[in-house]
Structure 1
Amino acid sequence: MRTLATLALVLATSTMVLADDAKVKLEYKFAVGDVIRSKVVHLSTVETKIKGSTQTAQSRSISTKNWKIQEVNAEGDATFIHSVENIDMWQKVTDRPEQRYNSEKDEVPPAIYSEAAKSVGIPLAKITVDTMGRLVDREQLGGTPSSESQILPILPGEPVAVGAAWYSPDDITVRTGSGAQKHIKTRQVFRLKSVTGGIATISTETQILTPIDDPMLKVELIQKLTRGTIKFDVEAGRVASQQLDLDETIIGFQGETSVMNYLGRMTEELIPGAPAKVAAVPPAPKAMKEEPKPVAAPKNDKVAETKSWDKLIEGSAEPETFEANEPAAKVASKPERPRVEGVPTLADPATKPAEEEELKLSSPDQD
C-alpha cells in the first residue's frame, strides 16, 4: 500500500509538471444574445509644476459598460453594441470647487460633464472583433467617436505555454509643439504568467519603439504608458478582470524646471447576472450650470504622504486621498490612433533576448 501511495504521489507530481509545461489556447468566445457587463473605474492624479507654481488635478470615473452580442460568424468574429448604463464622475483641481455628476441621481449635469451625460443609456458604437480581440470594424452610433484601436487585450493566435510572450503593434499620431504630426511606433507586450483554476494571468506593458527626445511628445503619450495584469477566463473566453497602472514623470515640457507627475489606474471587473436597469438619457437642460469661478485658497505645498485609491472610489472628495508626489495635471488631447493591422507576433521566450537586443529595448519585467 505504501508503494502504491508513493507511486500515486509521483504520478500526481509528474502530472502537475506536465500541466505547467502544457500549452493553452486563449481565445474570445461570444454567442448571439450574450450581454456582457462590467464595472470600469478610472482614477488619476496629475500634478504639474511650472515656474514655481503647482497645480494638482484629481479625477474619478465609475461606469457600467454594456456589450450586447448581435452576431457571431463562422470564424468567431463577434459584432456587439457598446453602451454605458451609468456613470459617476468627480473632479477636483487646485483652487477650484470640485465637480460631481451621477447619471442615476442628477437630472442636470455640470457643464464639464454635459457631453458625457448625453452618452449614457444609448447605443454608442457597433463593434466587430475577432477571436484574438483585434478590431475588425467599428461604426459610431452616438456620443463622441473613439480613436482607440485596441478594444480588448490581444490574445495570441496559437496555443502558448506559461512564460510565452506575444506582441500587438500600434502606430500613434501625435502633434509636436510646432503643430506638425509625428507617428510614434509602439507595441503592447503580453506574457502568460500562470494558469490556475481555469484563470489565465497575463501581464501587459506598453513599449515605445520610436526614440523620443521632445518632452511635449511624452506628454501626449503619457496616458498610453500603462502596465498591469489581466485575468482571463479560459473556458468562458472573456476577461474576468484587469488592472492597468500608470506612474510617469516628465521633466522640461514647459521650461527646464517644469515637472509633470501622472498617476493613473484603470480597473475593470466582470459583473455576473442579469443587467440592471439602464440609466435614462438625461434630458437636454434649458440652462446648463455655469463653470464655477476659481476660489482662492491658501497655498499648501505639502502633499499627502499616504495613498488611498479606496477612498476615492468610495466617493471621498478630499484632496489628500492621493499621494502628493503621485502625479496629475492636464494632459494634451488624445491623439487619433489608426486601426491596427496584422497579427501579433508570437515569441518564443528562448529567443526573446536576441529579439529585444535587435529592437534595442529592455525586456518586460518577469516575476
Structure 2
Amino acid sequence: MRILLTLLAVASLCCGGPTIADDADGMRLRYKFEVGDTVRYHATHSTKLKTVKGRSTEIVQDESDSEQHYRVVKIDEDGIATLELTTDRVKMSAQFGNAKPESYDSTLDEEVSPRFAAIAKTIGKPLARLEVQPNGELVSSKPLLPESLQRRVTKPVTSPTADNDPAKNIFAVFPEKPLTVGDTWRESFKVRVNIDRHLEQTVTLLRVSELSSLKNGLATIKFKTSLITPVHDGGVRVQLLQRTPSGTLVFDVERGQLVSRTVIIDRTEVGVIGSDSLMRAVSLRKEELIPESGEDTVVKR
C-alpha cells in the first residue's frame, strides 16, 4: 500500500553543468532533466511483517507490481527541476494472518475492495510535486491529492515533517565532489517519531554510499542506512523498523538517469511490545527504467 512516494524516478537537466566533470580526479554524477520529459519505471515490492507476542504469532504480507512515471514540469534558473509523480497502473495484494488474501488490479477490476478503494482513486492522477537539485537533493515536496485521500493512502510511520525532509526524497543524492571507483560518501538526516499522542522525538539516520564500479558508462552504487540516535522505547523502534534499507542502484552517467534500483530491508526488533515480543520486517523492492518505444533496455553490463 506504500505506492506513492516510492517512485524510483531520477533524471536530468538540460541546462545544468556537465555530467562528467572536467576534473581529472574523477567524475561528478548529476541528473539531467529536460522540460516535457516523461520517464517511466516498473516496480515490484513485497513486504512481510511478523509479530510474535508470547505464544501468539501474526504475519502480515503485501505485494505490488506497478508502473509509475514522473514528468518534468519546469527547470528554474538555478537548475532546480520541478517534477510531478504519477502511478499509471498497480496490481497489489494483502494478506493478514490466515485470512484470505485480498487483491486489486487497476487494469481489470471495476469493483474494488474497501481495502484498496483509496488507492484506486489515485491511479492516473498526479500524486506529488517535487523540486530537486541536479545532484538529487530534495528542495521541497508537496502532495497533490486532496487531504482526505492523502491521509488514507499514506501510512503514518512518523509524524508530519518538513517539505524538504530528506526522508521523503525518492532520489539518490550524489556528492558535489568528483568520484572514482571505491569512493564513499555519507548523508545524515533527521526524522521525527511519536513518543505518545503529544510528544515527539527527533532521531538521526545515516546513509553511507559507495561507487563500487563504473563500466560501459554505468555507475553501480551500493548503500546502507543505519540508526545513529540511541533508541530504547519499543514504540519508537517499531516506527523505525522499515527506515534503514540497504541496496544497489545503477546510474547511466551519460544520460543522467537512474536505470535500476534494488532496496532491501531485513530487520528484527526484540521486546518492542513486552519482554516476550519480537517484530521482524522483510522487504524487497526492485525498480527498472522502462525504455522508450523502440529503444533497447538501458542496462547493459
TM-score surpassing 0.5? yes
Richer in strand (by share): 2
Richer in helix (by share): 1
Which residue, 52, 65, 68 being the options, matches 2:68? 65
Which residue, 134, 144, 148 being the options, matches 2:150? 144
* Partners of 1:72 and 1:78 in 2: CA distance: 4
> How high is the TM-score relative to the length of structure 1?
0.66
* Partners of 1:252 and 1:160 in 2: CA distance: 42
> How high is the TM-score relative to the length of structure 2?
0.80
Overall identity of the aligned pairs, in %: 29
2:175 aligned with 1:183, yes or no?
A: no
Q: Which runs of 4+ in 1 moved over 4 A?
A: 145-148
2:128 aligned with 1:109, yes or no?
A: no
Q: How many equivalent pairs are there? A: 255
Amino acid paired to 1:38:
Y
Considering only aligned residues, what root-mean-square deviation do their CA atoms show, in Å? 1.9
For residues 290-305 of structure 1, the aligned pairs below 5 Å read: none
2:241 aligned with 1:222, yes or no?
A: yes
The answer for the alignment partner of 2:44 in structure 1 is 41
2:104 aligned with 1:98, yes or no?
A: no
SS of aligned partner of 2:150? coil
* Partners of 1:271 and 1:258 in 2: CA distance: 43
Amino acid paired to 1:101:
Y
How far the C-alpha of 1:22 sits from its partner, in A, is 4.9
2:240 aligned with 1:237, yes or no?
A: no
For residues 201-280 of structure 1, the aligned pairs below 5 Å read: 201-274=220-293
Amino acid paired to 2:219:
A
How far the C-alpha of 1:177 sits from its partner, in A, is 5.4
How far the C-alpha of 1:75 sits from its partner, in A, is 3.2
2:133 aligned with 1:130, yes or no?
A: yes
Is the contact between residue 138 and residue 169 of structure 2 (CA under 8 Å) also seen in structure 1?
Answer: yes
* Partners of 2:131 and 2:48 in 1: CA distance: 33
SS of aligned partner of 1:31? coil
Amino acid paired to 2:172:
P
Amino acid paired to 2:199:
A
* Partners of 2:129 and 2:265 in 1: CA distance: 29
For residues 303-318 of structure 1, the aligned pairs below 5 Å read: none
How far the C-alpha of 1:162 sits from its partner, in A, is 1.2
Is the contact between residue 25 and residue 178 of structure 2 (CA under 8 Å) also seen in structure 1?
Answer: no
* Partners of 1:27 and 1:195 in 2: CA distance: 15
Is the contact between residue 57 and residue 94 of structure 1 (CA under 8 Å) also seen in structure 2?
Answer: yes
The answer for the alignment partner of 1:27 in structure 2 is 30
Q: Which has the larger radius of gyration?
A: 1
Unaligned regions of 5+ residues in structure 1, if any?
1-20, 276-367
SS of aligned partner of 2:235? helix
* Partners of 1:211 and 1:178 in 2: CA distance: 21
* Partners of 2:66 and 2:45 in 1: CA distance: 9
* Partners of 2:55 and 2:108 in 1: CA distance: 40
Query: Per the alignment, do residues 258 and 122 of structure 1 end up closer, same or farther by CA in structure 2, a change over 3 Å counting?
Result: same
Is the contact between residue 29 and residue 76 of structure 1 (CA under 8 Å) also seen in structure 2?
Answer: no
